[in-house]
């Protein structure tokens, strides 16, 4: 594994000598109606104390390769296809990291993004806002796509998306496919003309599933509506903010669903200070089940988010039965270097519900009768991103979760550590 990482480093740094020319478009003299792009990512990763068990450690190498082709025969129509190959060294037992050669995207796009409308039909990425509800989860080795039809109505800084979709499930022995009946439909608007420098984003999303685990002991056919409002923007070019409040209602089998969530973030950048430091603060809340067995489940369905780093780099907490505060100190010592130090403090929103991981699954089961403490723990994270070229990025991340009383009592009093070092090459 070390040899593979070293070879990757050498090849990527050698690429900087070719900065004066385009690797594919110019070298191959492609016509204007044809685009070809490629991406490769190598990541050395470590996950220590898996399942909160001391010594249950994994250190492995992830590889991901993508090749895409775009064909635009006429100005208002484009065909796009992308294949992906995701691999992992044999030292990892995580099956979600492998999917050898499969179709990632394949869609037709009719219309123009810079005109009044466009329609995109086929396998594609869906991402809205800061991806806290619907995103591509690109940090994962396989990432997320949808089989979808999406109508975009847009003019200037205003946009409305109307979509019908089904998430694509990974199948390592056949072509990936969505699950029949596991659907998501919605309207997501982004209005930038109301307040200068800000976007107002109301949304309504309906989700159905033939089988869904909604909370402690509650599972079955699922139907829900998620509605809310997100606002994000800047003030005086140094203040940045994001706020989101949402509600969720529906049914899981015969059990009523009633949940909600909220998020507030503020960041201040000091542009006149050396290295342009930023201070960031954030609060998140996602409801959990209050009284198991009372015919109402209150655990928020986080839908399909991109959660990595939002709720800690260790990915031990998702947007379900969680409340947390987050603080960060960001620096940019050089134009090509960004460094971040962040801290998180986590609690269960309800002591009667489980601790859910970043992917939405159960990390620590709900305690019968309720947990004696809701304090999950504190996490310290560090991130460094180096972008010496428009072709590649080098980065490193490390996160450590210090156990709170909840983990001390119900998860072996074990901390969790995550690290990653990666190379991302795009041509």
Q: What is the pLDDT of residues 379-397, one digit of tens each?
A: 999 999 999 888 999 999 9
Instruction: Please report the pLDDT score of residue 28 as a whole number.
Output: 60
Q: Angle 53-57-63 (CA atoms, 0-180°, nearest 5)?
A: 140
Question: CA-CA distance, 122 to 150, in Å (whole number)?
Answer: 9
Q: Mean per-residue pLDDT for 34-56?
A: 93
Asked if 418 and 313 count as a contact pair (C-beta separation under 8 A), the reply is yes
Q: Counting Cβ atoms within 10 Å, is residue 218 exposed (0-12), middle (13-18) or buried (19+)?
A: buried
The mean pLDDT of 65-72, rounded to a whole number, is 97
Q: 296-297 and 255-269 as β-strands: parallel, antiparallel, unpaired?
A: parallel
The CB density around residue 205, as the number of other CB atoms within 10 Å, is 23
With contact defined as beta carbons under 8 Å apart, do 353 and 321 qualify?
Answer: yes
For the chain, give the mean pLDDT: 91
Q: Is pLDDT at 91 greater than 70 in this prediction? A: yes
* pLDDT tens-digit map of 262-297: 999 999 999 999 999 999 999 999 999 998 889 899
Q: Please give the pLDDT value at position 10.
A: 40
- Assess whether pLDDT exceeds 80 at residue 213: yes
Average pLDDT over residues 201-220: 91
d(CA 210, CA 204): 21
Confidence of residue 218 (pLDDT cuts 50, 70, 90): confident
pLDDT digits (tens, 9 = 90+) for 151-168: 999 999 999 999 999 999
The pLDDT, as a whole number, for residue 427 is: 85
Task: Report the percent of the chain where pLDDT is more than 90.
Answer: 81
Residue found by looking up tokens 């090749």 in the block: 67
CA distance 124 to 82: 10
pLDDT for position 3:
46
- Give percent above pLDDT 70 in the chain: 93
* Cα–Cα distances in angstroms (integers) from residue 73 to residues 108, 109, 123, 172, 305, in the given order: 12, 12, 20, 34, 34
The model's confidence at residue 214, banded by pLDDT at 50, 70 and 90, is: confident
Half-sphere exposure of 326 (CA within 13 A, CB side): 25
Nearest CA among 26, 115, 73, 55 for reference residue 417: 55
pLDDT band at 8 (very low <50, low <70, confident <90, very high): very low
Q: So what's the pLDDT on residue 126?
A: 97
Closest Cα to residue 67, out of 80, 51, 52, 53? 80
Q: Report domain 2-426's class.
A: mainly beta
CA neighbor of 258 nearest in space, from 202, 300, 223: 300
With 90 as the cut, is the pLDDT of residue 18 above it? no
Backbone angles phi, psi at 196, to 5 degrees: -55, 130
Q: Which residues contact 163 (CB under 8 A, 6 or more apart)?
A: 126, 148, 149, 150, 151, 184, 185, 186, 188
> Tens digits of per-residue pLDDT, 113-129?
888 999 999 999 999 99
Give the phi and the psi of residue 241 in degrees, each rounded to 5: -140, 160
| Cβ-contact 410, 403 below 8 angstroms | no
Residue spans of the domains in the chain: they are 2-426
Predicted pLDDT at 182 = 96
pLDDT in tens, 297-325: 999 999 999 999 899 999 999 999 999 99
Q: Inform me whether the pLDDT recorded for 209 exceeds 70.
A: yes
In a 3-state reduction of DSSP, which class is residue 340? strand
For residues 395 and 424, the answer to whether their CB atoms sit within 8 Å is yes
Query: Whole-angstrom Cα distance, residue 3 to residue 239?
Result: 44
Residue (of 327, 332, 329, 328) closest to 273 by Cα position = 332
Instruction: From 401, 299, 283, 415, select the one nearest 360 (Cα to Cα).
Output: 299
Task: Give me the mean pLDDT over the 363-368 stretch.
Answer: 94
DSSP 137: -
Distance in angstroms (rounded) separating the CA atoms of residues 41 and 161: 31
pLDDT higher than threshold 50 for residue 11:
no
Neighbours of 311 (CB within 10 A): 25
């Amino acid at each position: 594994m070390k040899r593979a990482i070293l070879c990757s480093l050498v090849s990527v740094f050698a690429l900087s000598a070719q900065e004066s020319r385009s690797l594919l478009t110019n070298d191959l003299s492609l016509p204007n109606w044809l685009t070809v792009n490629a991406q490769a990512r190598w990541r050395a990763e470590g996950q220590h104390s898996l399942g909160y068990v001391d010594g249950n450690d994994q250190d492995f190498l992830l590889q991901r390769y993508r090749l895409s082709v775009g064909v635009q025969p006429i100005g208002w129509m484009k065909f796009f296809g992308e294949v992906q190959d995701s691999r992992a060294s044999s030292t990892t037992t995580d099956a979600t990291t492998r999917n050898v050669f499969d179709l990632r995207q394949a869609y037709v796009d009719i219309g123009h993004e810079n005109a009044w409308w466009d329609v995109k039909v086929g396998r594609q990425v869906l991402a809205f806002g800061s991806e806290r509800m619907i995103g591509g989860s690109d940090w994962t080795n396989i990432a997320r796509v949808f089989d979808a039809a999406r109508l975009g109505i847009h003019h200037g800084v205003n946009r409305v998306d109307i979509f019908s979709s089904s998430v694509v499930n990974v199948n390592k022995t056949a072509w990936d496919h969505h699950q029949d009946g596991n659907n998501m439909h919605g309207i997501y608007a982004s209005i930038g003309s109301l307040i200068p420098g800000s976007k107002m984003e109301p949304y309504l999303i309906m989700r159905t599933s033939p089988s869904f685990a909604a909370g402690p002991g509650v599972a079955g056919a699922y139907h829900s509506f998620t509605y809310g409002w997100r606002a994000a923007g800047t003030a005086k070019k140094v203040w940045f903010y994001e706020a989101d409040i949402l509600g969720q209602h529906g049914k899981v089998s015969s059990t009523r669903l009633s949940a909600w969530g909220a998020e507030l973030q503020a960041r201040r950048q000091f542009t006149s200070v050396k290295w342009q430091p930023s201070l960031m603060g954030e609060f998140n809340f996602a409801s959990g089940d209050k009284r198991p067995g009372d015919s109402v489940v209150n655990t928020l369905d986080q839908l399909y988010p991109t959660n990595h780093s939002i709720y800690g780099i260790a990915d031990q907490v998702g947007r379900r039965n969680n409340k947390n505060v987050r603080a960060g100190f960001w620096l940019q010592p050089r134009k090509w270097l960004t460094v971040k130090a962040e801290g998180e403090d986590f609690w269960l929103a309800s002591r009667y519900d489980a601790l859910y991981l970043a992917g939405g699954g159960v990390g620590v089961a709900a305690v019968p009768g309720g947990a004696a403490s809701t304090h999950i723990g504190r996490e310290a994270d560090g991130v460094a991103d180096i972008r010496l070229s428009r072709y590649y990025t080098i980065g490193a991340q490390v996160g450590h979760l210090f156990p709170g009383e909840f983990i001390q009592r119900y998860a072996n009093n074990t901390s969790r550590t995550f690290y990653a070092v990666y190379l991302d090459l795009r041509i």
